[in-house]
Amino acid sequence: MDLNGLINQKSEWLKGEGPRSDIVMSTRVRIARNLDGHLFFNWANSEQRSDVLEILMKALGKNNFFKPAAFIRLKDISELDKEFLVERHLMSVEHTRDTAYRGLVIGDKEIVSAMLNEEDHMRLQVIHSGFNITEAWRIVDEIDTSWGGLLTFAYSNRFGYLTACPTNPGTGLRASVMMHLPALEMTGQIENVYEAISKLGLTIRGFYGEGTEAAGNFFQISNQVALGHSEADVLDNIERVINKVIVKEEETRGHLLKNKRSETQDGIFRSYGTLKSARIITSRETIKLLSSVRLGVDLGLITDVSTSSLNEILLLMQPAHLQKINARELNPHERDIKRADMVRVRLGNG
């Protein structure tokens, strides 16, 4: 599997399918693991970092969950490729820096992937489309169990799996659910969601995870607490909260359709019109309009485009993806033009 092949491949999490895919775009579950007897990345020297990378590359190479897979050493790929991988949610922004001994392994359909030598030796993640925490955790758990005696992780009975940052030990587990909440945002209720969630041991992040802002009404909700609760408890808590947010969003959508039907329809069809007609468009505007059209599809107002196609545009309209498609570097203005072209073609109005 090679990196350039990914551009023509549809990531599983973008399929627009799975439970509640009208409101939940994707579910991601990750665990942090470190090798016993090895220094954590930030405190290790070059030789120690290299040892860890080699051990893990070898172990993942033998693992059936990573057949087929792309084994990438980040020092070998271009800046553009790194950005491309961040845009596909396969690695963090942090992982694009200090790349001498960092690795990334991407499994089939991009469902399973592992960052090697990020903050922890291994960050294993599974992404699924729709609201699918149980299934994502099942796969993570199976892979985590599959090492048997091959890898020994840093673990203590008292503190659980040991991690570089004190925010992660214990389960090392983080579940994140990417939600599309246009109605709650439009009616100003999203701030109540923020407040409620921060009181429940959960947190809201932007589209690209930690340290990023919410864009186009996409919000990532994840657990903050990793220690003192079993995995089942952590996942159960987030699942319950997400279900409540889904109901709220649904009710608000219903309210908009009932009481502000014309305004809602007008906004949606204007957005659709702009996307189908624009000649120059920024990513910020695109994501905003896509959000509106997506709502139109969910409400049954727009029927000639699928959620899956909208998800694909959302992925492809990002800077690194546009440059990969066009096979050359593009300045921001050129990108805005190429983006408008790509969106029109994909919406059948080229």
Q: Is 328 in the site for another protein (CB under 8 A)?
A: no
Q: Residue 68 interacts with another protein (CB under 8 A)?
A: no
- Angle among Cα 66, 68, 69 to the nearest 5 degrees reads 65
Is residue 194 a contact residue for another protein (CB under 8 A)? Answer: yes
Q: Is 241 among the residues that bind another protein (CB under 8 A)?
A: no
Cis peptide before 182 (omega within 30 of 0): no
Kindly tell me which of 195 and 329 has the beta carbon lying closer to another protein.
195
Angle between helices 283-298 and 261-277 (to 10 degrees): 130
Which of 237, 111, 110, 84 lies closest to 174 in space, CA to CA?
237
Buried b (16+ CB within 10 A) or exposed e, 99-132: bebbbbbbbeebbbbbbbbbbbbbbbbbbbbbbb
Q: Does 140 bind another protein (CB under 8 A)?
A: no
Q: Provide, rounded to whole angstroms, the least separation between the CB of residue 5 and another protein.
A: 34
Nearer to another protein, 155 or 208 (CB): 155
CB of 48 to another protein, least distance (A): 10
Q: Which of 2, 8, 46, 195 binds another protein (CB under 8 A)?
A: 195
Site string for another protein, 144-173 (x = CB under 8 A): xx-xxx--xxxxxxxxxxxxxxxx-xxx-x
Q: How many CA atoms lie within 13 A of 112 on its CB side?
A: 22
Considering only 70, 111, 179, 226, the residue that binds another protein (CB under 8 A) is: 226
191 near another protein (CB under 8 A): yes
H or E stretch at 72: strand 69-73
Give the integer Cα–Cα distance in Å for 253 and 46.
54
Residue type, 342: M
Smaller CB separation from another protein, 19 or 206: 206
Residues forming contacts to another protein in the complex (CB under 8 A) are 34, 36-40, 42-43, 119, 141, 144-145, 147-149, 152-167, 169-171, 173, 191, 194-195, 198-199, 201, 213-214, 225-234, 284
